[in-house]
Structure 1
């Protein structure tokens, strides 16, 4: 049952991430996210990196509370959120933004679609308008660009 809760949590994180990205990061916490778009930061870190801490706090709390037998399910929710956060870090920071050079020359249509959608998101340097707020699932047109290219 725990693994099912973990899987459902991981899957639910995508719409939660979309909503958070659009209405929080491009909303009232734009001041933290802005430097990720306009590259106004100095050094390796951005104010935007604080979101890792902000989003880790509920996961840590859930894992901690899930150690109690009567709230065991919270452990699995916390682990699901943590695994999604790890996936986000690897795909967004390492793969897309190349903070560590990895998979730079991939031909994988799924990964190329995610990268392309993220580039579309970043073409907007301001708070509004915006597009492609998703992370692991982005508009299908970006995947089609690369899946169709591999069939030629």
Structure 2
């Protein structure tokens, strides 16, 4: 006979993993993809006609990790199986929210006009409002800060980058 705890623990593991994955995805997007992993992620910030981009390799890495957890969880430590379920659910959310809704990598187009989906859409479009990897805002995929906050943050980032660029140019200029 199964008890409530037999359902509660897996449910909490899955929900907790999905929440953690949004935090981890935002963190890795900002610090890895816009950092030392830019060589792959750059393809996502440039126009292209291909169906796939180098950036998709990050999804492959997460999928391989989840498959590994499924395997370990089914053979040795059952909680890892449920964590793999959470990672997989997050991957599905990412696919629909980011690849589908925001970047229109579906065979049909849908631009949300109101509510939560509009906010996620606008937030990620603001992420792509700068050229290159510096000065971006909104690194999450499922959660998005209010758009007015992101616009202010984007303006602040552009000012900081502009003053940094000006200082670098001043340092390179020959002394008179």
Residue 35 of structure 1 aligns to a residue whose secondary structure is helix
1:38 corresponds, among 40, 46, 59, to 46
TM-score (norm 2): 0.75
Deviation by residue 1:31-88 (Cα, 9 ceiling, x = unmatched): 000011122x4421111111110111211111110002x5000000011001101110
Cα distance between partner residues in 1 of 2:148 and 2:86 = 27
Deviation >2 Å, runs of 4+: 105-108, 140-143
- What count of residue pairs does the alignment treat as equivalent? 141
1:124 is aligned to 130
**Bigger radius of gyration:** 2
SS at match of 1:138: coil
Task: State yes or no: 1:51 paired with 2:58.
Answer: yes
Query: Which ranges of structure 2 fall in alignment gaps of 5 or more residues?
Result: 1-8, 150-176
Residue in 1 aligned with 2:20?
Answer: 12
Whose RCO is larger (CA < 8 A, sep 6+)? 1
Structure 1 residue 108: deviation in Å?
3.7
- Could you tell me which runs of 5 or more consecutive residues in structure 1 were left unpaired when the two chains were aligned: 144-152
2:35 to 27, 42, 48: 27
Distance 1:71 1:2, change over 3 A: same
User: How far apart are the structure 1 equivalents of 2:39 and 2:30?
Assistant: 14
Secondary structure of the residue aligned to 1:139 is coil
Q: TM-score, normalised by structure 1?
A: 0.86
**C-alpha root-mean-square deviation of aligned residues, in Å?**
1.7
Q: Tell me which of 105, 108, 128 is aligned to 1:99.
A: 105
Within 1, Cα distance between the matches of 2:69 and 2:89? 13
Give 1:95 deviation, angstroms. 1.0
Q: C-alpha separation between the residues in 2 aligned to 1:142 and 1:18?
A: 19
Query: CA 1:97 to 1:112, structure 2 compared with 1: closer, same or farther past 3 Å?
Result: same
CA offsets per residue over residues 100-126 of structure 1, 9 Å max, x none?
145614334100000000010001221
